[in-house]
Structure 1
Amino acid sequence: MAKERSIPAPLTNPETEPFWAAAREGRFLIRACTDCGKAHWYPRAICPHCFSDKTEWKEGSGRGTIYSVSVMKRAPEVYAVAYVTLEEGPTMMTNIVDCDFDTVAIGQKVTVTWRPTKDDGPPYPQFKPA
């Protein structure tokens, strides 16, 4: 069994604090624009699609599809870095966990799971096969 990587606590700011507060409750939030209707990742107050400041937090499904993936095998760690396209539209960089790394594939359906962070920080979103 590969050793699980230790994740540092994320730095929070007023723009991202609602995301991390929801993460502590096991909820996955995304930011969406009320002007153009598009969701975006990484959460920020200004829409990267139309530059509107009319954005709001929405409950995300926590489901997505692997767009691209690389499995890193460096003893004692083995981990997969991936871009996952969320059901809501945005693509985010993340890790794929709780799986046989030799079977991880582009197009595979995944779901969010939460991993603890150092220093009692909020849990960090990663994805596992659905």
Structure 2
Amino acid sequence: MTRSLLLQQCVNCRKFQYLVRPFCVFCRTTVLSAVAAAGTGTVDSFTVVHRAETPYTLARVRLTEGPILLTHLIDNPEPRCDQPVRLAWRGDLPVFRPVE
């Protein structure tokens, strides 16, 4: 079974949004469709959290389609801004790892 991250796309203005809403946040129309994300993006910003037993990286990732997600970076010992990343899954949560 292939997993995908679903985005909403406005039928009127064609823009994408993440988090399900009853209307388009750009043009306010109520006609939206569900579209699978490409699963790629870039790191806008990040921080390494050291308060946990094992440090982890929290990042703001801008998807190729435009929406922004606050997520974890995995398998990334040296994160950086503008780094290309791809979608992975940790349980039911979308996370991102560097593009190889």
The verdict on a shared fold, with TM-score over 0.5 as the criterion, is yes
Distance in 2 (CA, whole Å) between partners of 1:108 and 1:86 is: 12
Letter in 1 for 2:3: G
* Structure with greater strand share of residues: 2
Preserved contact between residue 114 and residue 126 of structure 1 (Cα < 8 Å): yes
Structure 2 residues without counterparts, runs of 5 or longer: none
Query: What number of residue pairs does the alignment pair up?
Result: 99
Identity rate of aligned residues, in percent? 30
**Aligned equivalent of 2:89:** 114
Letter in 2 for 1:84: V
**CA offsets 1:12-52 (integer angstroms, 9 cap, x no match):** xxxxxxxxxxxx84112111101111001123231111111
Normalising by the residue count of structure 2, what TM-score does the alignment of the two structures yield? 0.90
Q: CA deviation at 1:74?
A: 2.3
Letter in 2 for 1:46: F
Q: Which has the higher contact order (CA 8 A, sep 6+)?
A: 1
**Aligned equivalent of 2:42:** 65
**Aligned equivalent of 1:21:** none
Residues 1-130 of structure 1: pairs in structure 2 closer than 5 A: 25-100=2-77, 103-116=78-91, 123-130=92-99
Distance in 2 (CA, whole Å) between partners of 1:111 and 1:43 is: 22
Distance in 2 (CA, whole Å) between partners of 1:60 and 1:76 is: 33
